[in-house]
Structure 1
């Protein structure tokens, strides 16, 4: 019985060795752009595969790359890389592409037009496998409007010459009425939806008697109500500066345009010291009369107490009767002003380094 048992054990070992699985390779690893359609799911040992790039991609090597399935069930290495072909971005669109001049294969450009413009052409374009675009960039053409109708008892003055029966988006015009009537609104335009502004109504308009302004006067006017577009001119009293338009006009709303303002001069509010005014260095006693006009600058001199002993200028501006004195300015006493004037900040060497402007003290009015 012993030999028969040995034979049975040997037959079991032989049966076990015949069913050992054979090594195979799965689908080879691929990167973007490599053609996968021709690849199988399983390959036998020593079976080879040639990798190629998809349409629209360029290979990194001139010769095809072959891979082999090894006895360990792994693939040999491949250095093939596939890069997408590039489509040149049309030059008119490059400012919108943030500095890019090309776009890769499969990129999509979407086009839109601004309000008031109509697109002529496709609204998108795709980068094709041959490095060209599927559609050219479209054109954006301005919307057309029928020429506007003039108001009853009036006419239209176009900003630019027109021809034909239409005008384009954004073009404007002014409505005018036969005197003394005024239009309910003066401006019209060709709008984004292709409609022109409706004509206004011409109506009688008048403005009140021209008002007076503080520290100023009307140069010439009859004190009566004024009709649309009539004007009145103002001027200021001596040493006052006119701010705004000197001439006002009666508007279509029955009100006057913005009134000018007369700004007051300023007094330099120190008793002792030297200033710079109108490019001249003056002792305050020599500023006669003590008056600077609105908007003019006066420079004061301050002493640098940190580091080198030197003087530095700080400017202040007259603002409608108020001239602020820099906080760093110290008015000298009578003795320093009369006997030791050469030691004042305005007379000693000026600082070589630029010092920060000093804040100003409470304003001093004229």
Structure 2
């Protein structure tokens, strides 16, 4: 009896699950839908299209709407074919119309997110004949920084992880317990300046040595060249070509602490993501792929093992070079990914057409313009000229 009573209480507390409201037939001005009936149960979906001279208020020549507890979502609507839908502009903000679409002649002004800047300083677009003219593009600013450097025995506080940071951004490090910066403070900030991070802190256990230590002393986190050693530039110069990460016999070519090789090697479009007493670990920035050893060792003769390179791992599509594509400027696609491009409307096309660009290790493949259904069911073949 107690079990039955408890079940009644639970069901009574969830009226939405038992009494979801049905929907009446939508009032669709200038269009038609299927299936057509007087009422529709909760979560029933309809498909609709619009009469000649009209189009759905969403992307595509047909659309769907679902009954959600008595309300159609999204609301089925047909608008004039010369109206414009909101453009898709990554990493940008612009003035949104309450109606959800824009009339011919309407203008939008685009503002890029902090880490991006307007290409060619073009900030506006105008709705003309159902499409946008010269849609602004937000590209990564040259003054943007990648992720802050990883520092042994430290974490970044008060900041969620992100891959890129706007110019003048500040991040704050805090050393782990038992370590400090310059022998006293446990926190230090660095700043993004003209595309590079200012020098980061070194978290040292206890008090920094040096006041009574011998010449050339350093802690496990320091990058100071040992006494008597020559300076090694950060380009990897002085490393033993072809040696790799497998040392030969002899103390001079055996791995030693990374502090013995001085400045860390520089990898173009890459950065050190982990460093400890034994090795350095590298990673590449976005749109690049690591080739070669992930870890780099320091040998007893003061040279580094082979360092990796960061090769391009993206494809670039300049829509201005393809007359059949709607112009959005240059677009980058990561290797292994795809991106959809709108095609310019042609009189012989009865519905919207698209092209799909795919970036592979062999390069870019840009599919010819086809209907979305053809692309979805892979009945579209050929490449864009």
Normalised by the length of structure 2, the TM-score is 0.27
Q: What is the TM-score of this pair, normalised by structure 1?
A: 0.28
Which structure would you say has the larger Rg?
1
